[in-house]
Amino acid sequence: MEMKEFAPDKNLLQMSQPAFQNATAEVVPRMASRATVPLLLLLGLLLIFLKLSQKKATLPGPSFCLGIGPLISYGRFLWMGIGSASNYYNEKYGGIVRVWIHGEETLIISRSSAVNHVMKKGHYISRFGSKHALQCIGMNENGIIFNNNPSIWKQTRSYFAKALTGPILQRTLAMTVESTRDHLEKLLGGNNNTTKVDVLLFLRAITLDIANRLFLRVPLHEGEIVAKVQKYFDTWQSLLLKPDIFFKFKCMYKKYEKAAQDLQDAVEELLLKKQQELRDTEKLHDITDFATDLIFAQTHGELTPDNVRQSLLEILIAGPDTMSVSIYFMLLLIAQHPEVEKKILEEIQTVTGKREVQNNDLQQLKILENFINESMRYQPVVDITMRKALKDDMIDGFLVKKGTNIILNLGRMHKDDFFLKPYEFSLENFTQSVPHCYFRPFGFGPRSCVGKYVAMVMMKGILVTMLKQFTVHSDNGNNLQNIKYIHHLSFHPNESQTLQMTFIPRNQAED
Ligand code: HEM
Ligand SMILES: *[C@@H]1O[C@H](CO)[C@@H](O)[C@H](O)[C@H]1NC(C)=O
Ligand SMILES: *[C@@H]1O[C@H](CO)[C@@H](O)[C@H](O)[C@H]1NC(C)=O
Ligand SMILES: *[C@@H]1O[C@H](CO)[C@@H](O)[C@H](O)[C@H]1NC(C)=O
Ligand SMILES: *[C@@H]1O[C@H](CO)[C@@H](O)[C@H](O)[C@H]1NC(C)=O
Ligand SMILES: *[C@@H]1O[C@H](CO)[C@@H](O)[C@H](O)[C@H]1NC(C)=O
């Protein structure tokens, strides 16, 4: 049954035929004798062949090969995952590769000059992915992350940008410290004993709580929402590149539809609570928040109810999907590198002493920032980002047609282009300043990560607060090298395995 999905679609056939069509349309009427027709056919085939082999000479990548190339490359993305397949192709063909997804030309780019070109220009501000999938998870022309309608995206992005800079950014560190302390206390039940922790779950609860304190501010059941966020992410990742035919069989994607609906319903409920609260308090709060801004925008007819719900959903999932895994990797690295832990801790102690970390400490925590950057470089979580060309363009000397899909392979760029020993984890890599064009963990330009400043502050706040109190050990001999991963929409551990860590209170560890 799956084979049917691989039948070359109309795009592909059209793509391979223009030379043939031109030849027959212009020449046949003038010299149509029976004998010349086969000759012309032969000529046509020759032209197609020449055209295809020319293409091969310009953009590196697997050959079209009568449509088999596109089937194989699409299959590779479906079976290996987007991240793994991207690395496979960049490794095999270099920093710019042409493949096909859904029969559509797709470039995988890891060369920094080309990555920066795409990020900088205004006509790559769209993404790609199955429209059915995006509809199923509510992202089609709603929210921000995979909103492919440029004008709605732009309007929605302004609400995110406002919520993630300025006064909120100033409050982020204090909220992060408060939330991390609360969660540590809850976990330990008032004692400070050595404790086994399901770290990923724990970090998701913290990152969700921080987002709630900053952007929404209504009571919520963390465990319940965290579980729904995880299923929503799995659904997003599983559906994003599925062939259209998959969505014709409701029985096949019913469970995905339910997972998406469950989180949407939960967010709707939170939104209703917030609206009720706004009505009850009458007077405006001294400080506004993201959810309040969205609700007012809806009242004024600027945003649709669907867009408001989806935008709130997306700002709530952004942290739990990215930061929790990133910090987990950082804790594993700290557990594996005691000398690095020692340096970070000395700096924390020098800068903050016995008090909690504050905003004006952040610029002095150089080693910590260096460590965070090196962790994101060495073991990234968000290592690819998907874009679409909205105009014809030249990228590093290659012609790129309007409509071409683009995968920016940032993880690969951070290994291939600048660092001398890319597969070694070393703080030395960031002791001298790295030119920005070689290190883009949050992307760059108009469609970059809108949460990048908040994300850096949150990571620092969580790490400092945890490390001041605890030293961490990984259980079951788990380390970055031996755990099992899923490398698809992001790079994250397969959570079928147990991923516990042990938190040992500092004052006990030192005895
Ligand atoms: C370690 C943490 C994080 C990493 C590594 C990360 C990385 C990224 C990357 C690479 C992109 C794609 C950028 C591009 O296409 O050029 C992105 C997009 C985005 N990120 Fe982050 N991110 C992180 C945390 C966050 C947080 C905490 C938030 C919000 C609170 C956030 C909100 C977003 C949004 C809304 C987008 C989509 C922007 C758009 O399409 O216009 N991210 N992120
Ligand atoms: C944890 O600490 C409390 C009080 O400090 C103590 O009574 C209890 O036995 C400890 N539990 C474990 C498992 O060590
Ligand atoms: C770490 O990365 C961020 C984000 O790219 C950058 O702004 C910052 O300058 C980097 N810090 C160091 C020490 O390299
Ligand atoms: C990165 O770290 C390695 C050690 O693993 C070091 O040799 C190198 O000089 C560092 N910096 C750069 C830019 O490669
Ligand atoms: C995750 O691991 C489990 C158990 O090893 C395995 O059955 C499952 O297929 C893995 N999931 C993915 C997406 O690789
Ligand atoms: C934690 O336990 C150690 C000894 O095990 C003790 O010295 C320290 O005061 C305790 N800290 C708190 C906050 O209870």
Ordered structural domains, the chain, with CATH: 121-382+441-505 (1.10.630.10)
Per-residue pLDDT reduced to its tens digit, 117-168 = 999 999 999 999 999 999 999 999 999 999 999 999 999 999 999 999 989 9
- Whole-number Å distance, alpha carbon 258 to ligand 1 midpoint, is 25
Task: Please list the residues that pair with 197 across neighbouring strands.
Answer: 501
- Whole-number Å distance, alpha carbon 354 to ligand 2 midpoint, is 25
Query: What pLDDT, on the 0 to 100 scale, is given for residue 46?
Result: 64
Closest ligand 3 atom number to CA of residue 369:
13
Is the full-model pTM beyond 0.85?
A: yes
Strand, coil or helix: 500: strand
Q: Which ligand places an atom closest to the C-alpha of 470?
A: 6
Query: What pLDDT, on the 0 to 100 scale, is given for residue 21?
Result: 43
pLDDT grade, residue 50 (50/70/90)?
low
Per-residue pLDDT reduced to its tens digit, 208-229 = 999 999 999 999 999 999 999 9
Per-residue pLDDT reduced to its tens digit, 448-470 = 999 999 999 999 999 999 999 99
- Whole-number Å distance, alpha carbon 185 to ligand 2 midpoint, is 14
Instruction: Provide, for the chain, the percentages of residues in helix, strand and coil under a 3-state DSSP scheme, each rounded to the nearest 5.
Output: 60, 10, 30
pLDDT grade, residue 12 (50/70/90)?
very low
SS3 of 367-395: the string is HHHHHHHHHHHHCCCCCEEEEECCCCEEE
Phi-psi sector, 443: left (phi>0), alpha (psi -120 to 50), beta? left
Q: Which ligand places an atom closest to the C-alpha of 487?
A: 5
Query: What pLDDT, on the 0 to 100 scale, is given for residue 333?
Result: 98
Query: What pLDDT, on the 0 to 100 scale, is given for residue 192?
Result: 79
Query: What pLDDT, on the 0 to 100 scale, is given for residue 510?
Result: 52
- Whole-number Å distance, alpha carbon 419 to ligand 4 midpoint, is 6
- Give the residue ranges of the annotated binding site for heme: 449
Query: What pLDDT, on the 0 to 100 scale, is given for residue 281?
Result: 81
Query: What pLDDT, on the 0 to 100 scale, is given for residue 412?
Result: 98
In this structure, which residue's CA is closest to atom 14 in ligand 5? 486
pLDDT grade, residue 48 (50/70/90)?
low
Those residues with Cβ within 8 angstroms of residue 492's Cβ, 6 or more apart along the chain or in another chain = 325, 381, 485, 486
Say if ligand 6 is within 6 A of residue 479 CB.
no
Say if ligand 6 is within 6 A of residue 508 CB.
yes
Q: Which residues line ligand 5 (CB under 6 A)?
A: 484, 486, 494, 496
- Whole-number Å distance, alpha carbon 187 to ligand 6 midpoint, is 16
In this structure, which residue's CA is closest to atom 3 in ligand 2? 191
Query: What pLDDT, on the 0 to 100 scale, is given for residue 408?
Result: 98
